[in-house]
Structure 1
Amino acid sequence: MSKRIKNIRKRLDEIAADKSKFNRREIVLGDVRVKNSGRETAPMVRSAIMGRENNIQDIIELLLQEKHNQQEDSNIPIVAIVGLGGLGKTTLAQLVYKETTIEKYFSTRIWVCVSAEFDARVIFKKMLEAVTGGSVGDLALAEIQKQLEENLRGKRYLLVLDDAWNENDFKWENFFKYLVKGALGSKMLVTTRSKNVASIMKVNFPYILEGLNEDQSWVLFEQVAFQGQDNYIDPNHKAIGKDLAKRCKGVPLAIKCLASLMRQKPNEKYWSSAKDNKIWKLLEKNDDVFPVLKLSYIYFTKSFETMFCFCSIFPKDFVISRDMLIQMWRAQGYINENLQDIGDEYFNDLLSRSFFQEAERDRNGNIISCKMHDLIHDLAQLVAGSNFYVAKDKQEISKEVHHVLLECIPSQEFFRHLSTTTRVRTLLCGFHIHKLTNSIDDLKYLRFLELNWCSNLKELPRDIGKLISLEYLDIEGCGKLKCLPKGIGELASLQRLSTFIVNSDEQSFPRGATLNEPSELNSLGGCLYIRNLEKVGNVGLESNEANLKEKKYLQALKLIWERNEDNKKHEQLLDNLEPHPNLKELGVSGYSGARFSRWLSSPFKFSQNSHTR
């Protein structure tokens, strides 16, 4: 556990949560990853801008200044937003990033989330992927830099490094050695809590972000706590609210969390109780507002605590898929498997309390993902207590472990230890992993296996069908995975399968699954991609037996041909892959038939809300 977490724990010992209420244990292996290149910049509520209008203009002016542009042999100028956690540095940077003047001035804008572990190659890889719009695989740093040079040559670009922690001079020197200069006017914008980071980076323009003043704090508190109410506010509530807002020391995150709690508890008794809580004494002794976040947590119901604590399994800055998280809650038995609405309610509640933020929406306005602020993540780890701890690759694994987050390349020894556990229900694998050994098949209670973007993974265990409890299998982004193993259709409990890959090389993978393998997987829901359709051998048999008509829980289906081959074969295959009428979204890619199937032209065949791409 990080030094920062230990310091926070020490300060909060007197109000530590009862750890006996959570009977699960989690292991985290290895280093924090930079899984996503940047924090989402979805539309934000007015509270994001509250009191920051002048700050936005200040940062924009610094970025647009031309008299301080880089010289030919120097690094690009750096603007750094420096301030305490929770002040809204990332939000401020996002608002600046989206400003029209910034969009027009910089021909290319790149956002990379850095966080605790600083790895120049990973950062440059994310930069290249942001510029090219696709995965770049396992290129060496020099090759990545070369391609960045080609893509950014002659372009004025803005690079945002969000949440920088690295205070190692050598690592920054190495980073700047490979950093592409770009055209005159290129700039870097950094957010950090550390003045040391700004100093080591030789920042040209350090911008110290202050907290909101007392009036701004009250306006923000009022906006959140009395959301949806008329103009009248009870005088007693107003007096208590102003006092609570003032105690948050101008930190927007603390204000929003506390105001959200008060909105949930409109009774004056609760407001007075919050005002008189002994936790405020801790706040008087420290500069940070972590105790305020703890106060917001104290009033959680037991079931709500459980849902929140489970989120401690994710790394910091991880983009949490709404659907995935609800599936995970369901897999642990926290919510009834048939009550999707309950999972949505818990998710929305955490979002409304500001425990989740940076919500990303789909084109229909539905929230599909979010993140946790670093301080909220710290809180989640704290309240999970001894049930969440960091272990090294070779460390023996407790047989009581329920949830494993794997972020390094595991040894065979690790997998042997893992296979001896009896209670593992969740296995999340970072992108470093190359192979899952066959011993994984011994995890009879495994319900959730996430291999998302494991770009080096080439095959799944041959006896994966033995995972009789598996409900969720995510292999999205596993570009080197050529097929799924035969037996995948034996996973009778499976409710989510991100991708089905038709066997593309029977000589190399004689045990690869054919298209008819998922015939009996009629509980599948969510979105299913079917790839390599050009590799289907017996079109009539395999496509009919795929039985898509019976998969009534599927919400979206993407049919993908990688190459154009036999047009007639494509037509017959599409004819036979008719889905259930409940389907809401259909995508067809690489299809080279001369006609579309009749079932696509029926105006009453699918849900009224469905659409085809």
Structure 2
Amino acid sequence: MMGTDHRINIEKLSDEICRSIFNHVAFQERSEDERERLTDIGDKIANKCKGLPLAAKVLGGLMQSKRTREEWDRVLSSELLPQGDFSGDMEFVGEQYLHVLAARSFFQDFETDEDEGMEFKMHDIVHDFAQYMTKNECLTVDVNTLGEATMETSIERVVHLSMMLSEDELFPKSIHKAKGLRQPLDPALETLRLRSCHCLICFKQLTCIRSLNLPWSSIKEIPYEVGKLIHLRHLNLAYCLELESLPETTCDLCNLQSLDVTFCRSLKELPRAIGKLIKLRHLGNDGSGVDFIPKGIERITCLRTLEVFTVCGGGGENESKAANLRELKDLNHIGGSLEIRNLGGGKEDASDAAEAQLKNKKRLLRLELYFNHNQDNGILIEALQPPSDLEYLTIDGYGGLELPNWMMTLTRLQGLKLFDCENLEVLPPLGRLPNLESPGIELVEGEKAPCWIFRYRKR
């Protein structure tokens, strides 16, 4: 028996000290400009912590990755404590979970690359514990654990499968018993090189699959049976260098949320009925051979990621099948990075660009504009005004004489690159933008025109 005759009741922190803890974490390594712009919202968010120090620390950690004022407003308006809705944005919720886990040392060694990609590690002890807790749901199949007896003991209860097989192994027949299989994680790439029938096993038998990851596979086509996987949320085909086509039945995946064909260089077209994928949130097509985005993309209003949009004009063979810039009008959730290629000139293109309303894409942080050296580009670029919170801008092949008037509204711009803009006669007073350094001039290999590079001004 233990007891005490003297107890100390710990009071809550004052609002001032709570805000101090929140600000110390939330504004770590931020510029003075960001502090000034976000402090008023930050104080209101900190007040929601109700004097709890752990809440202030965790909430401050959450806000470290929030870049735009819109994101801070959303946290302020959400019922974050003790439990929140987060406006129904699953990416926002997922990111919040990630930062809470990071604050509790579940993840560590965070690194962010120049493309805003994030990498982090999990400690071995945490990883071993996670494996122990999920031993009845997750199964790893490799060369050493391929025996039928081993697999039959647990395969019927498996919901997540990782397959790492060599070229000599066949697709295990016992996989057919995994009726509850939802997510084949990193399946063996060599397995799918053998015969397409191995791929068909997934499409015909494992109809509960939610996520199918086939990166770096040498498959040349996806069977039309893919349309039967009606529960599929994520289809990862990144770096399938020999993939030549996607069947139209891909558009029957009514629950698909992400489609990744990054660096599928042999893939020239996306399915024409892509507009049917109204739940699609992420389309990764950077580095692919896809020449255009099909018409109907305007229907996918919940799209968060669209890496490359190529304009098809001038009466080309794909013009009748391709979406034009005006179809971006209602896709206001697009964020991260957007690259627009083959920008022409003239009033018609400028009209489409104006309809696109890029300035309403508040989540857009990086924009790359590739022109065709037309002197009429000046009309077009004015219509391509991005949101004022844009952080990185690249202009390539621009044929106009001067930069657009909206350039000086980009007060958060940290990086500006001007490639092969040989007709430019004068630059605006870019030194007035608070986060840009003085320009550096470099020669791009193989090009005669200089490349002007403006970098982030560190305070």
For the aligned pair, the TM-score class normalised by the smaller chain equals 0.5 to 0.7
Pick closer, same or farther for the CA change 1:401–1:609 going to 2, 3 Å. same
Aligned residue in 2 for 1:472: 282
- Aligned equivalents of 1:611, 1:489: Cα separation in 2: 30
The 3 A distance-change label for structure 1 pair 419 and 335 is farther
3-state SS of the aligned residue for 1:469?
A: coil
Residue 208 (structure 2) aligned to one of 380, 400, 410: 400
**Alignment root-mean-square deviation, CA:** 3.8
Give 1:497 shift.
Answer: 1.0
| Higher mean C-alpha deviation, range 486-495 or range 497-506 | 497-506
1:577 partnered with 2:414: no
How far apart, in 1, do the equivalents of 2:238 and 2:305 lie? 19
**2:160 paired residue number:** 388
Counterpart in 2 of 1:539? 349
Between the aligned partners of 1:393 and 1:489, the Cα distance in structure 2 is 32
Can you give the 5+ residue segments of structure 2 that lack an aligned partner in the other structure? 1-24, 26-53, 55-65, 68-84, 139-157, 164-170, 172-197, 418-459
Q: Which has the larger helix fraction?
A: 1
Are 1:508 and 2:317 an aligned pair? yes
**Residue 450 of structure 1: aligned partner:** 260
Residue 442 of structure 1 deviates from its aligned partner by 0.3
Question: What letter is aligned with 2:208?
Answer: E
Give the % identical residues.
Answer: 27
Residue type of the partner of 1:387?
V
1:335 and 1:401 map into 2 onto residues whose CA distance is: 27
Q: 1:345 to 1:482 in 2, by over 3 A?
A: same
Q: Kindly indicate whether the alpha-carbon contact (under 8 Å) linking 2:247 and 2:271 is maintained by their aligned counterparts in 1.
A: yes
User: For residues 349 and 551 of structure 1, do their structure 2 counterparts lie closer, same or farther at Cα, with a shift above 3 Å needed?
Assistant: closer
Partners in 1 of 2:370 and 2:402 — Cα distance?
A: 16
CA-CA distance at 1:571 after TM superposition: 0.7
Distance verdict in 2 for CA 1:345–1:519, change over 3 Å: closer
Aligned counterparts of 1:452 and 1:354: Cα–Cα separation in 2: 32
- The amino acid across from 1:501 in the alignment is T
Provide the secondary structure at the position in 1 that maps to 2:212: strand
Counterpart AA for 1:417: E
1:360 matched residue in structure 2: 111
State the number of aligned residues.
277
1:504 CA drift (Å): 5.9
- Which residue of structure 2 aligns with residue 369 of structure 1? 119
C-alpha distance in 2 between matches for 1:387 and 1:551: 37
Contact 2:220 2:244 in 1 (8 A): no
* Structure-2 separation of matches of 1:398 and 1:339: 26
TM-score normalised over the length of structure 2:
0.52
In the alignment, is the contact (CA less than 8 A) between 1:453 and 1:475 conserved in 2?
yes
**How far does residue 572 in structure 1 lie from its aligned partner after superposition?**
0.8
Contact 1:484 1:503 in 2 (8 A): no
Q: Residues 399 and 536 from structure 1, CA distance in 2 versus in 1: closer, same or farther, beyond 3 angstroms?
A: farther
What is the CA–CA distance in structure 2 between the aligned matches of 1:491 and 1:606, rounded to whole Å? 28
Q: Is the 8 A contact 1:431 1:456 kept in 2?
A: no
Q: CA 1:373–1:476 in structure 2 vs 1: closer, same or farther (change >3 Å)?
A: farther
Listed one character per residue, the Cα deviations across residues 371-418 of structure 1 (whole Å, up to 9, x for unaligned) are 668994994985642112346313134221111112434576x53322
Instruction: Show the counterpart of 1:493.
Output: 302
Maintained 8 Å contact 2:312/2:342: yes
Q: Does 1:426 align with 2:234?
A: yes
> Which amino acid in 2 is paired with 1:551?
K
**1:499-538: CA deviation from partner (whole Å, max 9, x where unpaired):** 1111267443131222222122122122211111138882
**CA 1:434 to 1:470, structure 2 compared with 1: closer, same or farther past 3 Å?**
same
CA drift of 1:590 comes to 2.1
Q: Is the CA contact 2:377–2:398 (under 8 Å) kept in the aligned structure 1?
A: yes
SS in 1 for 2:286: coil
Structure-1-length-normalised TM-score? 0.40
Is 2:327 aligned against 1:555? no
Preserved contact between residue 309 and residue 338 of structure 2 (Cα < 8 Å)? yes
The amino acid that maps onto 1:361 is: T
The answer (yes or no) to whether the contact 2:345–2:377 under 8 Å persists in 1 is no
Q: 1:5-24 to 2 correspondence within 5 Å?
A: none
Q: Which residue of 2 aligns with 1:566?
A: 374
CA distance in 2, matches of 1:394, 1:598: 55
Separation in 2 of the partners of 1:584 and 1:383? 45
Q: Given residue 338 of structure 2, which amino acid in structure 1 is its aligned partner?
A: L
Distance 1:611 1:354 in 2: 32
Instruction: Go from structure 1 to structure 2 and tell me whether the alpha carbon gap of 1:554 and 1:416 turns closer, same or farther (over 3 Å shift).
Output: same
Return the letter of the residue paired with 1:547.
Q
Q: Deviations over 1:550-589 (max 9, x none)?
A: 222222222122x4x321x211111111122233332222
Q: Does the residue aligned with 2:244 lie in a helix, a strand or coil? A: coil
Report the AA paired with residue 308 of structure 2.
Answer: T
